[in-house]
Amino acid sequence: MIRRTYLDHAATTPVDPEVAEAMARVLRDVPGNPSSVYAEGRRARSLVDEARAQVAAAIGADPAEIVFTSGGTEADNLALRGVLTAREGEADGLVVTTIEHHAVLDTAEDLERHGRARVTRVPVDRDGLVDPAAVARAIDARTALVSIMHANNEIGTIEPIEEIGAVCRAQGVTFHTDAVQSVGILPFDVRSLPVDLVSVNAHKFYGPKGVGALYARRGTRCATVQTGGGQEKGRRTGTENVPGIVALGVAMRIASERRERDARRLAALRDRIVAGVRERVPDAILTGHATRRLPNNASFCFPGTQGESLVVALDLEGIAASSGSACASGSTEPSHVLTAIGLDREIAQGSLRLTVGRDTTDADVDRLLETLPAIVARLRAASRETVSAAP
């Protein structure tokens, strides 16, 4: 079998062995429902409370400000729909950027389509950065919420959320940030950051899929968006996923302990990829900000190629990576992020995202840099032949 090199940690990370063992232990030994008052239920409740404290400690929050969800998408939905519902009849303005994750953009579009929100989409520059002054201009007297991600999942650009939060606070507007890509790898402390709502997702920092959390600053108006048994103090009803929540807490603790040394090592690997690709692949375009970017993210566009073809060709060589483009209706559509930063459609179609992680080695980077140039050259040659053969 081909030795695999995994370079798609932005999509999901492998589960840490300690996290997996903690989750398995709960599955084996803790059958109780956290809402039950007898011993088995109290045991489950104590584990949920412990995990809540671990998540809170990792971001400087109070445990009561943590709401467990099924992941980042639900956390984003709860933030947007919850605030708009809580402010119904008072304020209906929602401000987002053009490069948000679909969990935010599609939710905003749905709220807009059903007449529940007036959505303002703020553009970004060529590096994917949003200007806090543009956010300030987008806010009006009926703005209920501003939702801007901390770091972009495709191009890795880190947004100035401290300045944006200050703008929102000065105007009395609730501020939500999708920090799914950043919590666990970047410093993040809600005691110093002017954020009201923060989405996190366990499987982005070596936890399991299907569990996440929303930080809701005390006093933030955010209504529940589903009805049921009143769990999570009525903020997110439904029986808690005890094994997943325990795993989230352990993953957050480990990520917090390792963050500084992991970030340094990952940034060194990222920089090797960026320098190596630029040196070995003609006309490679680095997307996202050159320095203000996630330490594990190296994203490119290769003119004359298709992203899906790049991913497939790398996969055949034993390297897992991803593309910002998606196949729809038989044609490759460029990522909304890449078009939002002003790339031509043809260039944006040749996107490739390479994201390193704890298990990535220098040998993995060497292998990528030995393999990728030939793949790009081959795909470009095939594309030229196709064009020349066209009638």
Q: Please report, for the chain, the start and end positions of each structural domain, with discontinuous segments joined by +.
A: 5-12+259-384, 17-255
Q: What is the pLDDT of residue 148?
A: 98
Q: If one looks up domain 17-255 in CATH, what number appears?
A: 3.40.640.10
Quote the CATH superfamily of domain 5-12+259-384. Aspartate Aminotransferase, domain 1 (3.90.1150.10)
Mean of pLDDT values over 268-288: 98
The Cβ of residue 279 has, within 10 Å, a number of other Cβ atoms equal to 11
Mean of pLDDT values over 276-286: 98
User: Which of 195, 149, 188 shows the shortest CA–CA distance to 168?
Assistant: 195
Mean of pLDDT values over 161-166: 98
Contact criterion met (CB below 8 Å) for 340 and 149: no
CA torsion 267→270→276→282, rounded to 10°? Answer: -130
User: How much of the chain exceeds pLDDT 90, in percent?
Assistant: 94
Confidence of residue 328 (pLDDT cuts 50, 70, 90): very low
Residues annotated catalytic, as ranges:
327
The pTM (predicted TM-score) of the whole model is: 0.96
Mean pLDDT of the chain: 95
Name the 3-class secondary structure at 249.
helix
